[in-house]
Amino acid sequence: MNETPILLSTAYLAPVEYYTKLFGHGQVWIEQYDHYRKQTYRNRCVIASPNGPQALTFPTEKTDHPKALTKDVRLSDHGNWRHVHWNALEAAYRHSPFFDYYADEFHRFYERRYGFLIDFNLELCQWICRQMDLEPDCRLTESYEPNPEGKADFRELIHPKKDFRQTDPGFRPCPYYQVFEAKWGFQPNLSIVDLLFNMGPESLLILRDSIVQPA
């Protein structure tokens, strides 16, 4: 266990790398006072579809202020995205070993109308952690620190457009069974649901084995 507190952005069905931080650090701070940015994991995840990696993004309400704080960002109902995402997740994972086991509870997140992005993301994260018997000490930030002292800052390092191989030497994805591996090969660092639906209770072991211990 790394005793250094870590600072993360909020994330929608975050990638495996994100959950190794929840596993490996004693204290986790989730940023809510940053300026909200699109094209990040805040409202996007990547799953393994029958046609290869597929990004799922949900829309947010436009705000009057160009630099809205993440804590103030609301979900939008535009595009019937809940239905679209659920159908994509079902198509991707209905043949995975554990999808049926989790599906009923997981589907509830796509039936309920959440108001704020951060609430939706946090409740999803908490549910996923419970399924894996992961008990992170997560707290929401109380202000924005541009250069936090005494914390490992991963707010912008875990990002769809950044290669974890270059930004995170402490993460080395441990391969695990994937439904479409024979077709596409092993795809590292997909959304945590890819790991959960394929490996179920063994997900925690994959997180553990994906952490590179310092020499």
Within-domain flag for 1: no
What are the pLDDT digits (tens) for 83-112? 999 999 999 999 999 999 999 999 999 999
For residue 85, tell me if it sits in a domain. Answer: yes
Give the model's pLDDT for residue 215: 65
Whether 135 maps to a domain, the answer reads yes
| Average pLDDT for the chain | 95
Q: For the chain, how many structural domains are there in total?
A: 1
- Asked, for residue 215, whether it belongs to a domain, the answer is no
Q: Has residue 58 been placed in a domain?
A: yes
Q: Take residue 122 and report the two structure tokens written for it.
A: 């946090």
Residue 214 domain-assigned (yes or no): no
Asked if pLDDT for residue 198 goes beyond 80, the answer is yes
Q: Please indicate, yes or no, if residue 198 is contained in any of the structural domains.
A: yes
Query: Is the pLDDT assigned to residue 214 strictly greater than 90?
Result: no
Neighbouring residues of 152: CB distance < 8 A, sequence distance ≥ 6: 2, 4, 5, 6, 7, 25
Tell me what the mean pLDDT of segment 5-16 comes to. Answer: 97
**Residues 57, 60, 65, 70: what is their CA dihedral angle, to the nearest 10 degrees?**
-70
Whole-angstrom Cα distance, residue 87 to residue 62? 26
* 60-80 confidence digits (pLDDT tens): 998 767 789 999 999 999 999
166 three-state secondary structure:
helix
pTM of the model: 0.96
> Quick check: is 167 in a domain?
yes
Residue range(s) defining the domain that contains residue 156: 6-209
> pLDDT over 70 for what percent of the chain?
99
